[in-house]
Structure 1
Amino acid sequence: MPHIDYFFATLSPYAYLAGNRLEEIAAKHGATITYKPFDLITAFGRTGGQPPKDRHPSRQEYRAIELPRQAKKLGMPFNLKPAHWPTNGAPSSYAIIAAQNEGGDVGKLCQLIMTAVWAEERDIAEDAVVRDCLEKAGFDPALADKGLLQGADTYARNLEEAVEKGVFGAPFYILDDVHKFWGQDRLEDLDLVMAGKL
């Protein structure tokens, strides 16, 4: 059975723009997914990248063009400058880790959390927002309080694993620990590789 390790940050606009396409591709090919939220800003510092605010103006300008363009292409609501960004992505990441350990529709939870940031002007560092997303995804909202130590430990381990495996941005998909794909715009390539066409 094919397996995809999905490295992402809940604050990544590009992970938000991936929508539910990863889950659709996995279902199509009978693949499993392990969701691995990690600290993208720390990863940038360790892999030669820079946070958006520190990038050259030409890169910032292109980002401001590209993100709304991709959102329009995908038919997704998008706010280039959300009210609560950047914020602390750890609480939402811990909730995702706890939900994955519980079992259920983790993909839906991820999408709800990222939609809260990029389309709904909500702060995913707030307990009430995380609990609401958990409940809407079919999880017990109390998961926001459970396993915080384990969540923190897994979140830290995800970062180390990401750096070790050559992950330098988000979203980043690794198929069967061999094939690497960076960016929501490479999901088609992931699909083609899984189909044996690429």
Structure 2
Amino acid sequence: MSKMVDYYFAPQSPWTYLGHDRFLKIAKLAGAKVRVMPMDLSKVFPISGGLPLGKRAPQRQAYRLVELTRFSKGLDLPLNLHPKFFPVACDAAAKLIIAVDMHYGTDPALTITGAVLSAVWHEERDIADAATLATLLNEHQLDATCLALSSTPETQARYDSYTQSAIDAQVFGAPSYVIDGEMFWGQDRLDFVSQTLTP
């Protein structure tokens, strides 16, 4: 029986960007199912003790840049350390991902997730801008009606539900992968995710 992975992430997270494609390959190889669950970190952080980037201690902010550089080089994945549109409001992008999931299902939702992440960290695009989101849909042959669907109360309710689910699962950062109640935090835990999915 295939396992289910609850994939908690935030569309503005560089760590989610660095791990996204590897996670998809691991899940596919294991025949695992993925539940696409973007969450609102601004609601998760206050409960879990996390701080927005700008409020973290200088040494933590500096080391974050060191680690991002290491992983970008190690994974041969291009990443702008100081992207033009960051920090960026991500609710619209998160709800677009949910809307695509509602309209098309998991695989297209994961595709648009990757596009959104790359838009921030590689392509210098503003994911808070509706025109950018519409362009991303078009580039991946996804219906523009998903943008309208993303603004509905139903989509907002699902976003709120995913955020609460993350809190209930003790998630405190992005990305987090939850398998049978066991949480793996961070793209640097993907080896353990792989081992758990394919024992």
TM-score, normalisation: structure 1 = 0.94
Q: Deviations over 1:57-78 (max 9, x none)?
A: 1111100111111111111111
Gaps in structure 2 of 5+ consecutive residues? none
Aligned to 1:183: 186
Equivalent pair of 1:2/1:32 in contact (CA under 8 Å): yes
Distance 1:147 1:106, change over 3 A: closer
* Segment of structure 1 superposing worse, 120-129 or 135-144: 135-144
Q: Which runs of 4+ in 1 moved over 4 A?
A: none
1:138 deviates by: 3.0
Aligned to 2:166: 162
1:110 deviates by: 0.6
1:129 deviates by: 1.0
| Residue-pair matches, total | 195
Gaps in structure 1 of 5+ consecutive residues? none
Structural mapping, 1:6-45, within 5 Å? 6-45=7-46
Equivalent pair of 1:91/1:125 in contact (CA under 8 Å): yes
Give me the identity figure in percent: 35
Aligned to 1:108: 111
Structure 2 distance, partners of 1:89, 1:50, is 16
Structure 2 distance, partners of 1:96, 1:125, is 13
1:147 deviates by: 4.5
Q: Deviations over 1:145-185 (max 9, x none)?
A: 12422221111111111111100000000013x22100011
Structure 1 distance, partners of 2:43, 2:31, is 33
Distance 1:147 1:62, change over 3 A: closer
Aligned to 1:153: 157
Equivalent pair of 2:32/2:197 in contact (CA under 8 Å): no
Aligned to 1:121: 124
